[in-house]
Amino acid sequence: MRTKAQVCIIDDEQDGRDYISLLLKNEFPQIQNAFQASSVEEAYIYLTKNTPDILFLDIQLKDGTAFDLLSRLREIDSQIIFITAFEHFAIQAIKNGATDYLLKPIKKIDFITAVNKALENIKRSKNHSTNSTNNNKISLPTLQGFKLTNITDIVRCEADSSYTTFHLADKTKIMVSKTLHEFEEHLSEYNFFRIHHKHLINLSHLKEYIKGKGGQVIMTDNSILDVSVRKKTDFLYKIEHLD
């Protein structure tokens, strides 16, 4: 479980990355500078396996644009702060889910405002996402209110755009209007693992693994789910080191 918010800085200029790093160090010591990249390709490789809390994203990179990068990612749940020297990108940045938009050269006060906005959004998201009332239950919001569910009864969670469907051991389903990512970090503490961008499974309900390019799993509800190629190695390692 993360103890600090993590950021990723993507800028093709070393001076730009250094300046953001310095501002973070001086103004936000509670934030961890987790990764830096200078190209779309470097950033893509990192972001397919990691989800930083805040993403500083320069719009024009040496091998493409920030929008090229975002179009290649199936989903991105980071707070995105776009950085550019050109104001005309503002509308496109907003359409791509910008938390904020900083013009170069970055002003310190604008930077602080943008990061505080991102941190507030993260805090708000956590407060409205999974709220467990004790160590073994999770509160799932529904249209009628909420359902208090035993975590051990959850077989798997399935993503469907901005919704998540919880499949329970008694064959019932609960649909929640929140993304799978909003549950992933919390449930990972209870032996859940995301095998695919659509599937987060409870390893306690895993029956069988079938070999393949990525492979497939069979769960106790007899569902057969694909394991993505990029998740296969981490998944098999996790299985080998189950408590």
Q: Is pLDDT of 188 > 70?
A: yes
Whether the bond into 29 is cis, omega within 30 of 0: no
**pLDDT value, residue 135:** 58
Low-confidence winner among 94-108, 131-145, 158-172 (lowest mean pLDDT): 131-145
Domains belonging to the chain, first-starting first, are 5-128 (3.40.50.2300), 137-240 (2.40.50.1020)
**pLDDT value, residue 92:** 76
Q: Is pLDDT of 4 > 90?
A: no
| Order of all β-strands in the sheet with 224-226 | 206-210, 216-219, 224-226
Q: Decide which of 15 and 93 is more confident.
A: 15
pLDDT digits (tens, 9 = 90+) for 95-106: 777 888 899 999
**pLDDT value, residue 133:** 39
Structure tokens at 175: 């649909």
Integer-rounded Cα Rg, in Å, for the chain is 20
Q: How high is the mean pLDDT of the chain? A: 89
To the nearest whole percent, how much of the chain has pLDDT over 70? 93
**pLDDT value, residue 2:** 61
What is the model's pTM?
A: 0.55
